[in-house]
Structure 1
Amino acid sequence: MIDSVNADPAELAKFSELAHRWWDPESEFRPLHQINPLRLDWIQSMAELSGANVLDVGCGGGILADSMARKGADVLGIDLAGKSLRVAQLHALESGTPNVRYREVSVEALADEQPSSFDVVTCMEMLEHVPDPSSVVSACSRLVRPGGWVFFSTLHRNAKAFLHAIVGAEYLLNMLPRGTHEYAKMIRPSELAWSCRQAGLDVMHSRGLEYNPINGRYRLSADTSVNYMLATRKFG
């Protein structure tokens, strides 16, 4: 049952409604297509993907999972939005993407089932959509092997992020559907770092993702005041 796991039924419905548009680079998911090469390169700069056993938590339509599989990883993508998973599976079949599969299962349930099973775990643009982000962080830590990497990305909770990610992206530039993000669910880097430490993950690196509305492009930067990513590692 959806209400027995760490998921918001309204959030699942929201992404299921748009599922058929996941792989349209000019759709509501255009920002994900634009940032995917940046986040993929950043992950690869620290964690070897070729031959790695990788888990993508909250994979949606499979944009990141598919690209990691094409870099030689054996990828499992998980989500609780069934329509999005079916789109991901269909895209993998049509594109002939090797070594990628998808399951409708919560990260907490998978952590109980397959602890310490993955070399790399990614959880990107997902934490701000669940009722209990710390539960997801803890489950990701349980799923990764000692010495493995866990990568997170989410949105800062401050005035600048509210103006850029909600007012700007959803209402002025129409880059995202209105209501995609809720300010109260956004997460400060210090809060996420604390959750990581509590879960036994050491924060190794952080990076910001900046959007330039003039040229319509994203770039990696040291500015974590709006969109940011954390690279963490489990030792011991």
Structure 2
Amino acid sequence: MTAQSSARADELIKFNQLSDQWWDQDGAFAALHAINPLRIQFITQHVELSGARVLDVGCGGGILSEGLTLEGAKVTALDLAADALQAAKTHANEQGLNIDYRLEDILSFAETHAGTFDQVTCMEMLEHVDQPESIVQALAKAVKPGGWVFLSTLNRNPKSWLFGIVAAEYLLKLVPRGTHDHKRFIKPSELARMARQVGLNPVAFTGITYNPLTRSYALNAQDLDVNYLMACRRHEI
């Protein structure tokens, strides 16, 4: 980790320890596998991925990166958890997918790749860093003028504590215990403000809801109470 690193050491350790489970669809990252088609659906409601140059920030084991690639995008993916990144590389090679995985920090990467990408994604990462504002600023720098940035995180309120931590981690065991820290959750209004401050225009929000009876997820633009996504467009110069 460099002095400019956006990562927290404890988070890197946590995700590296789970590196062998990234592609077990019934394992620790089962929820990410389940919602990945919804994330792709939300993105493709706004942009054409085929032929687009896309940057996936905080890619982990590559679940979203592979989904974007299968839609025809040319994907560069960043993460600072070395073991998770190796799991991503290994799986992509096994699938015959060409993804440019890099062990680099978005803060420094954006400085040398400003205005390079048609679209930038950063999913389920902002709630794991100390300074999400600096990440959003770097994402805005990396995307082209007129390009799109897609974000997802968790809202901060009593319901998100109940459903995002108590239910998801302890009762339903959708994600490993200790995955989330409620005080790091971000309200949609806060995320929108971060975006606007760096030249991104919030265009759309939608929530991701979970039905424990059917064990299924769905997009719901009327319910941003727990997990939600935001689409932003960078202002034209």
Q: TM-score range by the shorter chain?
A: over 0.9
1-structure distance, mates of 2:177, 2:93: 32
Letter in 2 for 1:77: A
Residue 103 of structure 1 corresponds to: 102
- Counting only pairs closer than 5 Å after superposition, residues 141-220 of structure 1 correspond to structure 2 as 141-220=140-219
How far does the alpha carbon of each residue in 1:152-206 deviate from its partner, in whole angstroms, 9 at most, with x for none?
A: 0000000000000100000111111111000110000010000000010000000
State whether residues 23 and 61 of structure 1, in contact with CA within 8 Å, keep that contact through their aligned partners in structure 2.
Answer: yes
How far does the alpha carbon of each residue in 1:41-67 deviate from its partner, in whole angstroms, 9 at most, with x for none?
A: 110111111000000000000000011
How far does the alpha carbon of each residue in 1:20-78 deviate from its partner, in whole angstroms, 9 at most, with x for none?
A: 10000000100000000011011011111100000000000000001111111100010
Residue 47 of structure 1 corresponds to: 47
State whether residues 4 and 107 of structure 2, in contact with CA within 8 Å, keep that contact through their aligned partners in structure 1.
Answer: no
1:166–1:3: structure 2 CA closer, same or farther, 3 Å change rule?
farther
Deviation at 1:4, TM superposition (A): 3.9
Letter in 2 for 1:138: Q
SS at 1:38's partner residue? Answer: helix
Letter in 1 for 2:189: S
SS at 1:209's partner residue? Answer: strand
Letter in 1 for 2:215: G
Letter in 2 for 1:144: V
Aligned residues: 235
State whether residues 2 and 9 of structure 1, in contact with CA within 8 Å, keep that contact through their aligned partners in structure 2.
Answer: no
SS at 1:50's partner residue? Answer: coil
Deviation at 1:221, TM superposition (A): 0.3
State whether residues 56 and 75 of structure 1, in contact with CA within 8 Å, keep that contact through their aligned partners in structure 2.
Answer: yes
Residue 130 of structure 1 corresponds to: 129
Worse overlay, 171-180 or 148-157: 171-180
1:30–1:128: structure 2 CA closer, same or farther, 3 Å change rule?
same
1:35–1:25: structure 2 CA closer, same or farther, 3 Å change rule?
same
Letter in 2 for 1:159: P
State whether residues 3 and 9 of structure 1, in contact with CA within 8 Å, keep that contact through their aligned partners in structure 2.
Answer: no
Superposed structure 1 runs of 4+ greater than 3 Å apart: none
Q: What TM-score do you get using the length of structure 1 for normalisation?
A: 0.98
Letter in 2 for 1:12: L
SS at 1:76's partner residue? Answer: strand
Letter in 2 for 1:16: N
1-structure distance, mates of 2:228, 2:67: 20
SS at 2:199's partner residue? Answer: coil
2-structure distance, mates of 1:64, 1:123: 10
Letter in 1 for 2:121: T
Note the residue ranges of structure 1 that are not aligned, 5 or more in a row.
none
SS at 2:71's partner residue? Answer: coil
Letter in 2 for 1:33: H
Note the residue ranges of structure 2 that are not aligned, 5 or more in a row.
none
2-structure distance, mates of 1:34, 1:159: 24
Residue 93 of structure 1 corresponds to: 93
SS at 2:230's partner residue? Answer: strand
How far does the alpha carbon of each residue in 1:94-121 deviate from its partner, in whole angstroms, 9 at most, with x for none?
A: 01113x1100111111111110000000
Deviation at 1:231, TM superposition (A): 0.2
Q: Does 1:118 align with 2:108?
A: no
2-structure distance, mates of 1:184, 1:162: 9
Question: What percentage of residue pairs aligned between the two structures are identical?
Answer: 49
1-structure distance, mates of 2:2, 2:59: 17
Q: Does 1:26 align with 2:26?
A: yes
